Structure formats: C-alpha cells, structure tokens
Amino acid sequence: MTATERDPGLQPERTRLAWRRTTLSCTVVALLAVRQALYGGAGPAAIVAASLSALAWLGFLRVAHLRMLGMGTARPRPLSPLGALTATACTVALAVCAAAMLF
C-alpha cells in the first residue's frame, strides 16, 4: 500500500459518523437551552446562558465540520491539539451553561 492510497477499512467513515452524532447531541443541548430560556421566564441570566450555549455550539460545530472535512482525504491527519482543546472547551461550556440554567 502506498502513502497516497486510502485505508481500505471503515475507520474514517466511523469517525466521521461519530463526529456527526456528537454534533447532533450538542445541537439538541443548545436548542434545549434556548427553549428553557424562552419558556422558563427569560430572565437576564437565562438569556446569557442561552447565548453562551449558542456560542459554544457554534464553536463545536466549526471544529466538527473541519474534522469531518479532514476525514475525506487519502490519509486523514490526527486531530490537532487546538482542535481537541476547542471541542473539549465547548463541551464543558455547554455543560456549565446547562447547570447554570437549572439553578
């Protein structure tokens, strides 16, 4: 196998699907945060938390989109440390915003 041939296995496709599932989960969390802010009294703290949830969702969406595009190459590069840190920070931010909206 040469360096330009694609891996015959399905690992890149499984990784792409995993990123799609995770993006869908983050989308549901962000939408639930907006719903809670709209129907839960829409106080200033809820609006700020919903806005921060939306920003975290957009950040994660960007990282996931770039990663899924990268999986389409012959030899996908590993996820960069900055991409991993950004995805982790966005996930933690969504969790913190969700916890803040509960209290």
Q: What angle do CA 9, 68, 17 make, to 5 degrees?
A: 60
In a domain, 1, yes or no: no
pTM: 0.74
| Separation CA 40–CA 43 (nearest Å) | 8
Percent of the chain with pLDDT over 70: 86
In a domain, 93, yes or no: yes
Give the pLDDT mean for 41-52.
75
In a domain, 49, yes or no: yes
| Separation CA 94–CA 51 (nearest Å) | 11
Q: What is the pLDDT of residue 4?
A: 56
| Separation CA 42–CA 77 (nearest Å) | 43
Residue-number span of the structural domain to which 36 is assigned: 12-73+80-102
Q: What is the pLDDT of residue 78?
A: 84
Please write the tens of the pLDDT for every residue from 64-89: 988 888 887 777 788 889 989 998 99
In a domain, 6, yes or no: no
Q: How many domains does the chain have?
A: 1
